[in-house]
Amino acid sequence: MTTDPPGSATPPGAPDAPRPRPGLGALLGLASACLFGFGASVSKVALDAGIDPIRLTSFRCVGGAVALLVAILVTRPSLLRVRWHDLPVLIALGLCGAAVLEWLYFIAIDRLPVGIALLLEFTAPLLVAVYSTVVLRHRPDRRVWLALALALVGLALVAQVWTDTGLDPIGVAAGFGAAVCLAAFYLLGKHALVTHHPMTLSFWMFAFAALFWAVISPWSGFDASVLTQPASLLGSLDQVHLPLWLPVLWVIALGTIAPYALELAALRRLTPTATGIVGMSEPVIAAAVAWLWLGQSLGLVQGLGAALTLGAVVLIQTARAPTAAA
């Protein structure tokens, strides 16, 4: 931690403002969504093999914090320094973006169909747009609202919400809670990226999340030998077995560190609302991967929903962003 140097408006390691390149931001966001979407099936492998959801979340947070700490120490140690008055935002990012969000998501998918759980979580961009309009008094381009509507309808078709009979209230509450956490992550992340490097934000976010879960679920109660047990890759790869530590490592490296880094990079170049709309392609990608790998059905209606959601991602690139916070 550090105090403000005399005459310094930003902490050491603060990033230069990126050039406005929304096209690049959308590509970065789509790359993040692809990794998150593929990681959903890999996470299912780990969960089915016996890793508790809270423990898998803990692995993601600890692994992310350790990997980023090593990378920063080797390349640019000054990025570790933050100011004391930045701690509340960093702690909030750790809880919203990497700890509570994942926990609520796991509760939602445990009590609801996965598609509906994802639909509830990805109402986050709508919450961001409403917050920006009502609280911040920004006026998003009308195409932003149209893109939101298209994406929500597309996700509803992918989830096939009309096929569910009776929704668990705790699962619904968890899904909407995850949406609130995701919206907070977009808004807080956009604000913090003004004065902090993405690697700084990512490290402290994962570090505080790891500390949170270490208190809630101490590592002393974990039997590490479970990581050496064989895990089936499920679905079309059901006959293939790998040591459990391999899918866990994938979840940490390519299901957590890489997609979060890409999402923060996208957030530097897009508004929170636009970043969220691009992120709404994640459930579509997850459904496609589950269809190809796990053998889950993907019908004509779901294909139409996927097309609408991806159309929303294209539409948002034509919208005028009046402010960086919208």
b/e for 273-289, b at 16 or more Cβ within 10 A? Answer: bbbbbbbbbbbbbbbbb
- The pLDDT confidence band at residue 129, using thresholds 50, 70 and 90, is confident
Cβ contact 277:313 at 8 Å:
yes
Whether the pLDDT of residue 146 is over 90: the answer is no
pLDDT at 108: 81
pLDDT at 19: 57
- The pLDDT confidence band at residue 323, using thresholds 50, 70 and 90, is very low
pLDDT at 1: 58
User: Mean pLDDT highest for which of 18-32, 40-54, 80-94, 295-309?
Assistant: 80-94
pLDDT at 302: 73
The residues near 58 (Cβ < 8 Å, ≥ 6 apart) are 210, 213, 214, 217, 219
Angle 73-54-287 (CA atoms, 0-180°, nearest 5)? 95
Query: What is the per-residue pLDDT across 159-197, written as a single tens digit (0 to 9) for each?
Result: 676 775 566 788 888 888 998 999 899 889 888 888 888
Please compute the mean of the pLDDT values over residues 145-167 and round it to a whole number: 74
DSSP E strands, the chain? 230-232, 241-243
> pLDDT higher for 130 or 296?
130
Query: What is the per-residue pLDDT across 269-322, written as a single tens digit (0 to 9) for each?
Result: 888 878 888 887 887 787 778 778 877 666 777 778 777 877 877 776 666 544
Whole-structure pTM value = 0.76
